[in-house]
Amino acid sequence: MPRPSYSSINHSDGIKFLDTDEKHLLRYLALEDALSSDYLLAEKVVVKRLRNRDIRRASRTLITGIEDDPLAKYIRETPDARNTKLYNRIQRLQFAIGVSQWARRKWGLAVNHGRAVVCAVPAPEASKKSKIDRKIDELYRLINRALDIVGKTEMQRRRFDEVSKKLDKFAEEILGADWRRMRCVNALATAPEFQRRGYGGALLDAVTKLADAEGRSTYLLSSNAAANTEFYNAHGFFIIAEILIGDDDPTWKGPPIPVPLMVRIFGDQ
């Protein structure tokens, strides 16, 4: 129900407002409006390159962000799952390694020192690796594989590999030759206590501005379609295809997980 304006309040009810009371009421209504909107922050949202000193906080943001993520649950909640502290410690270490790679390759963007973070993956055709990059990437892959063996069960490892391969193949098949020319939005997350402040939108817009400057379209795979589709639509991304995860796994007791492929086409805004 819309809130009545001050002018619609019936003064004949015996309620009398002094001038100061009127000002206080109007201030209260204005404040309540502001608090109920998405524009409650007085601070300016500033997107910066992810720095090494932001890695720890950004890692925590990502871990918190996937706690209720359907794909993360699919990988984590296997019949042979071990809900141990070791799993959580290994996961924290793996996220820190991944985020440090983003910082090193200058792919990561952050707001408020990692309280919101995204990986702005460059287009494959524009991503050139030096010999050092290739060696470091291979070292990180070996470390991550070793950590997977220590921290994940056999079925968790199998599901992780399944999801990674399916999504990569799906994106490449649907996008075709354009895949190599497009930027990708990867792992966008905002710490829960800093949500609804425009952090995520600012990061998403920063990635698409990079793509626009290069004359490229942008794509993403949304692992939580029910919660995020409207948000991505508001920033120019729309679903062009969808894949189901878990539909052919008899050990998965949950419903199949829809993962839409969303695209923002350069020049179509």
Estimate the crossing angle of helix 85-105 against helix 131-151, to 10 degrees. Answer: 170
| Burial bucket for residue 197 (CB in 10 Å: 0-12, 13-18, 19+) | buried
Alpha-carbon distance of 110 to 57, in angstroms, equals: 10
Alpha-carbon distance of 113 to 265, in angstroms, equals: 30
pTM score, two decimals?
Answer: 0.80
**69 within a domain of the structure (yes/no):** yes
The predicted structure's pLDDT at residue 130:
85
| CATH code where residue 222 lies | 3.40.630.30
Region of 75 please: left (phi>0), alpha (psi -120 to 50) or beta: alpha
The predicted structure's pLDDT at residue 12:
36
**196 within a domain of the structure (yes/no):** yes
Q: Which of 136, 152, 46 is nearest to 93 (CA)?
A: 152
Task: Walk along the chain (269 residues) in steps of 10 and give the mean pLDDT of each run.
Answer: 35 37 46 42 82 96 93 94 85 95 95 97 88 90 93 95 97 96 96 95 97 97 92 96 96 96 88
Strands of the 183-190 sheet, one edge to the other: 47-49, 108-111, 116-121, 183-190, 218-221, 257-264, 238-245
**5 within a domain of the structure (yes/no):** no
Range of the domain at 79: 47-264
**229 within a domain of the structure (yes/no):** yes
Alpha-carbon distance of 269 to 230, in angstroms, equals: 16
| Structure tokens given for 246 | 């878990």
**185 within a domain of the structure (yes/no):** yes
| Structure tokens given for 123 | 């287009």
**239 within a domain of the structure (yes/no):** yes
**14 within a domain of the structure (yes/no):** no
**Three-state SS sequence of 199-249:** HHHHHHHHHHHHHHHCCCCEEEECCCHHHHHHHHHHCCCEEEEEEEECCCC
Start-end of H helices in 66-197: 70-76, 85-105, 131-151, 154-175
Contact indicator for 160, 148 with CB cutoff of 8 Å: yes
**29 within a domain of the structure (yes/no):** no
The predicted structure's pLDDT at residue 43:
63
Tally the domains of the chain. 1
- pLDDT digit string, tens, across residues 1-12: 443 333 333 333
